[in-house]
Amino acid sequence: MKSRLITAVMMLSGIGCLHAVNPIIQTNFTPDPAPYVHGDTVYLFVDHDENDAQYFLMEDWQLYSTDDMVNWTYRGTPISTGTFSWATQGDKAWASQAIERDGKWYWYICAQDAESGLDAIGVAVADAPEGPYRDALGCPLTKPGFGFIDPSVFIDDDGQAYLFWGNNGLWMAKLNRDMISFDGEIRYIDELDDEKAFGPKVMKRDYALNKRMLKSNFEEAPWVSKRNGIYYLVYAAGGVPEFMAYSTAENINGPWTYRGRIMNEAENSFTIHGGLIEIGGRNFMFYHNGKLPNGGGFRRSSCVEEFSYGDDGSIPFMPFTNEGVKTPLKNLNPYVRVEAETMADSYGVRTDRNKGTERHYLKSVDNGDWIMLRSVDFGKGGAGRRFVANVSALRPGSSIEVRIDALGNKPVSQLEVKPTGSFDKWQEQSTEIGDVEGVHDVYLLFRGDDESEVLRCDYWILK
C-alpha cells in the first residue's frame, strides 16, 4: 500500500502542492521526451522506464498531449518492441521522435536488432497520432550498427525531410517523400572532432576500443530544428553525466558552430535528452530528470521549461525549476468531457497500458490519492450544476471529492461512488457541485478503505 505521508501533511496544513509541474508526468516514468506541435496541440512522444528498473528496462513507448502546456492527457501506449518483429522483445525500447506528413504519422524509434544484437532505427506508421501503428517496413530503416540510436526527424522549408541519429557518433540522411526510405547515402558528420563545431573535447570511454580517451563533446540525443534561416542542433554533451548543449549552422549539412551549454547535468539522472518547440508565440525546452519518487538514472521523467531566444538567435542557459510552465496557453473548459487521465500533477494514481485507440482511465487508485488540474474555468455562477464522473468500483464506501485551489480546502462536491460490479463495467454517476466561479486549480481527491484499489475513473464533466 502506498504511503499516505504526503497527503496527510497537506491535509493537516491546509495547503496544496505548490503548483509544481516538473516532472510533468507523474503516473509513469517517461524519459526522452519528443514534443511535436500539430495545430493547437502538442503531442509528447516518450519512452517508458519500468517502475522496477535497475538498468535500462524499456519495452514500449507512450503518448501524451496538451493544448495548454500545463495539463497533460495520457493517449495510450501505442507501440512496443512487439510492434517490430525484428527487435529484441521486452526491452531496449529507447529514444524516439515522431512527425506527421501527408496525413500519416511516422514514429521513428531505436531498438536492438535481435539477430545481430546491434542498435537500429525503425519506423512505425499510422493514420492518427495515437495509432494504431504498424511497422512500416518489417525490418530496420537503417542497417544495425553501434550507436545507431536517438533518431531526430526534421522537414525543411523546401519540404525535404532529414533523419539524424547517433551515440558517440552522428549520422544523417535525406528521407524520401514516403518518409520510410533514404534518398542517397547515409552521411557521417565528421565535424564531431572539430572543437569549433561541437565544443572542447572531453575524456570519455571509447566502447569500441574499451579505453578512455579524448573524444568529441557530442554524446547523443540530437534534436534538429530551424528558426529564421538558422539550423539548430541540440544534443546531450560531455559524456556521462551529460549536459545539454547546441550548435548552429546556416546549412543543414554544416559547417556547425558550437554555441554552448543550455542546461546543466540533469537532477538525479546521468543522462539528459529532449527537444524544443514553439507554440502560441512561446518557446519551450523539454528534458528529463530522475526526481519523481523512486526515480533515478534508470527511472526518468519528462520536464519542460519556457525560454526566449536572444536577439541574436541564441538559446539561453536554462536553470531547472520545479514550477516549469508558469502561465498556461489557455484555461481548461470543464463543461466539455475531461479525461480522467488529464492532469497537471498527481499522487499515487496510475494509468492503463492500453494501446492508443482504446479506452484510457485512472487505475491503482487508493485511499488518499489525488490528481490536480490547473486553470480550470468555471465561468460565472451557476447554481444547480452537477459533477458527473464515469467510474467503476467493486465495493461501497468510495468517493471523489472536488476541492478548489488547495488540497486542504473543504470540498465543493463529493460524489459517493456506487459499486458497478466490476472494474470493467463503467457507469456515469453524478452529484451537485457548489456555486464556483472564475478560474481555479481543481483537485480530485479519492477516498475509500485502505484494503485495495477503491475505484477507477474514465472521465468527468460539469453539467
Residue with cell 447554481: 383
pLDDT at 7: 41
- The residue among 411 and 1 whose pLDDT is bigger is 411
For the stretch 369-391, pLDDT in tens is 999 999 999 998 766 799 999 99
Q: Which of 33-47, 53-67, 120-134, 373-387 has the lowest mean pLDDT?
A: 373-387
pLDDT of 49 > 90? The answer is: yes
How many percent of the chain have pLDDT more than 90?
91
What is the tens place of the pLDDT at every residue in 51-110?
A: 999 999 999 999 999 999 999 999 999 999 999 999 999 999 999 999 999 999 999 999
Give the pLDDT of residue 28: 97
Share the mean pLDDT of the chain.
Answer: 94
Q: Is 50 exceeded by the pLDDT of residue 202?
A: yes
What's the whole-model pTM score?
0.95
More confident call, 58 vs 3: 58
Catalogue the E-assigned strands of 161-307: 161-165, 171-175, 187-188, 202-206, 211-215, 218-227, 230-237, 243-249, 257-263, 276-279, 282-289, 301-307
The predicted pLDDT at position 12 comes to 36
> What are the CA-CA distances from residue 139 to residues 93, 116, 173, 285, 352 (Å)?
15, 13, 18, 33, 29
Question: How does pLDDT run across 210-267, given as a tens digit for each residue?
Answer: 888 999 999 999 999 999 999 999 999 999 999 999 999 999 999 999 999 999 999 9
What pLDDT does 20 receive? 66
**At the fourth CATH level, which superfamily is domain 27-307?**
Glycosyl hydrolase domain; family 43 (2.115.10.20)
Measured CA to CA, the distance from residue 264 to residue 318 in angstroms comes to: 8
Q: Give mean pLDDT, residues 10-27.
A: 65
Question: pLDDT class for 3, splitting at 50, 70, 90?
Answer: very low
Question: Contact, 266 vs 219, CB < 8 A?
Answer: no
Supply the pLDDT for residue 2: 52
Give the per-residue pLDDT at 364.
Answer: 97
**Which pLDDT score is estimated for 1?**
39
Q: What is the pLDDT of residues 261-272, one digit of tens each?
A: 999 999 999 999
pLDDT for the residue numbered 194: 98
Phi, psi of 66 (to 5 degrees): -155, 150
pLDDT confidence band for 19 (50 / 70 / 90): low
Each domain of the chain, given as residue ranges in start order, spans: 27-307, 338-462
CB atoms within 10 A of CB 419: 16
* 304: phi then psi, degrees, rounded to nearest 5: -150, 145
| CATH code for the domain defined by 338-462 | 2.60.120.260
Query: Tens digits of per-residue pLDDT, 141-164?
Result: 999 999 999 999 999 999 999 999
* Integer Cα distance of 390 and 248 in angstroms: 50
pLDDT score for 395: 94
